[in-house]
Structure 1
Amino acid sequence: MTTEFQLRPYRAEDEDEDAAIELWRRTWQQAYPSIDFDARVAWWRERWRSELVPKATIIVAEDANALVGFVTIDRSGYLDQLVVDPAHWGSKLASALVDEAKRLSPDGVTLLVNKDNARAIRFYERNGFAHAGEDVNPTSGRPVLKMRWAP
């Protein structure tokens, strides 16, 4: 794993879409091996195209010209996706992407995180997020924590 990466805006006209979708699939498969994320790729591609790309700012991270992470943040300050290649877990990449989301939404950032994802919860706490309630993910039905960062 190298620790050199560059952040840049997502480019829909390039090959960013395929790389981002594959990174999402691979990362979530690692996080939740009992779920078949291959079967969800068509659904995710549609959601990516119809919900995230048109409504969110997407910042990607590249390492050696390969997409290794991305963050999506909408105008309301909602961070929908923070995805980091498992080979970069534990590096500074995720924090750099969260810092970029904070920069883009200086009045505050909110997110939902699966309650059973202790690693992610600890990460967000270390990055200044506080617990702001509980909910259920409308797509997966999984219990989630609401978290918020306020400047």
Structure 2
Amino acid sequence: MSKQPDTEAERDAEAGTGTVVLRRARAADARAAADVWLRSFAAALPTVVRPRSDTEVRAWFRHVVVERYETWVAEGTDGAVAGVMVLEGEELSQLYLAPERRGRGIGDRFVALAKERRADGLSLWTFQVNAPARRFYERHGFRAVEWTDGDRNEEREPDVRYVWRPRRS
């Protein structure tokens, strides 16, 4: 009879995922975070046209995202960035995972962290075509409150706004 893993590190090692640490992003993480964003966007949203080049996205992460907003990265034991989450006020503005790291609980951990950091509530936007993301957020207690035709986003892609509010006893 084999021993069940007791710690997150043991569970990750058994699953072959390696331990992932969530930490605040530093300026040196901007390129890796942008690259995760680019790869994830391409994998999850192949029909959505990006209005910015890869170079522009990397500059935006370097000069805006990491400098101005509460940016978190998921870092593997190998030092590679496996995910990125950005909080702008009460908005969860970005949550992207390296495609090969999806389905391993990193997104769940990011959402739990976001809820801890914004205990009064969160909102976010996602594209209507991103059914996996919509299911993910709904599973985490977010509720769709607004549907648009995409006229207010750069991609001109129909989107949906989600809101999460904590339950009060």
Asked if these proteins are the same fold (TM beyond 0.5), I'd say: yes
Q: Does 1:83 align with 2:96?
A: yes
Q: Does 1:48 align with 2:87?
A: no
TM-score, normalization: structure 1?
A: 0.88
Shift of 1:99: 1.0
Query: For the residues of structure 1 that align with 2:165 and 2:47, how far apart are their CA atoms?
Result: 34
The code of the aligned residue for 2:121 comes to G
Distance (whole Å) between structure 2 residues aligned to residue 3 and residue 149 of structure 1: 30
8 Å CA contact 1:111–1:146 kept in 2: the answer is yes
CA distance in 2, matches of 1:115, 1:11: 32
Extract unaligned runs of 5+ from structure 1: none
Match of 1:22 in 2: 35
Say whether 1:67 aligns with 2:62: no
1:146 & 1:35 partners in 2: Cα distance? 17
The runs of at least 4 aligned residues of structure 1 exceeding 6 Å deviation read: none
The SS at the match of 2:82 is strand
Larger radius of gyration: 2
When normalised by structure 2's length, the TM-score is 0.79
Q: Secondary structure at the match of 2:53?
A: helix
> Secondary structure in 2 aligned to 1:103?
helix
Note if 1:150 corresponds to 2:165.
yes
Conservation of the 8 A alpha-carbon contact between 1:29 and 1:36 = no
- Tell me the percent identity: 30
The Cα RMSD (Å) is 1.8
Tell me how far 1:26 sits from its aligned partner. Answer: 1.0
Number of aligned positions between the proteins: 147
**By percentage of residues, which structure has more strand?**
1
Which structure 2 residue ranges, 5 or more long, are not aligned? 1-15
